[in-house]
Amino acid sequence: MSEFLPGMLGVFDSGLGGLTIAKAIRQRLPEYQLAYLGDTARLPYGNRSADLVYRFTTEAVGYLLSQGCPLVVVACNTASALALRRLQREWLPVHFPDRRVLGVIRPISEYVADASRGGRVGVVGTASTVGSGAFVREISGRNPRISVVQQACPLLVPFIEEGWGRRPETAKLVRDYVRPLQEAQVDTLVLGCTHYPMLRAEFAAAMGEHCFIPDPAAVVAEKLADYLARHPERELQISRGANHRYLVTEHTDRFAQLAGEWLGHPLTLEGVDLQP
């Protein structure tokens, strides 16, 4: 059976938020062909159990790898927090030993651990990502002197997926969520969900100019460029061109509209079935 996505660089997210990562990768590495997969039928992942997130993640990543992607970036922070390490250590060597799967939490954590000026870092994310403690472990492992304060923001992903990002209710919700981080006087804020960069202006307004909010998508794209430079054998496996593919597990006109708005141009969403 011929492969559907031969040589394409895979990007996986639980929904459409990972398009922020895909867009940044396209800007930083425009020569490569991307295959984006959003599990829109089963979003959000942020309120799921670790076992279920692991199953969903292996199904999605397995689909991309089986269709010819030599490298997949798990753009979803929840999947990176709850499933990536187990996937890399147990599942990948058995099913696709010649492929690689990367996450987003470690590169972002390394960046903010080096960038924090005052040693107080805030993290906002889904309940599952915050509960996993993945950002705390990674940031503290890089710089033990940094204090990390976390805040779960469970309603933001549904609001964004509904297209409510610019509504005043969403801005108020952001202000309510970050209040504990303001009280902790964090100097750097991690947007620990791929959807949240779409609300970067709202977070910046709520936190004030004293707080540095890096663009996580740009950080991941730069770290990916560095990875490929250090692994030329992997870089040579990725196909060149601009024929990017955008796959979803549930197709609706609303998803297509939002995806086009986030990427800045119209696109065609293709439906796929991940069930074995």
Residues designated as active site: 76, 193
Contact 247, 270 (CB under 8 A): yes
Question: Could you please report the per-residue DSSP string of 188-240?
Answer: EEEE-STTGGGGHHHHHHHH-TTSB---HHHHHHHHHHHHHHH-HHHHTTSPB
Amino acid 1 reads M
Q: Can you tell me whether residue 11 is helix, strand or coil?
A: strand
For residue 258, give the nearest of 266, 250, 247 by alpha carbon: 266
CB 9 within 8 A of CB 69: yes
Under a CB-based contact definition with an 8 Å cutoff, are residues 29 and 221 in contact? yes
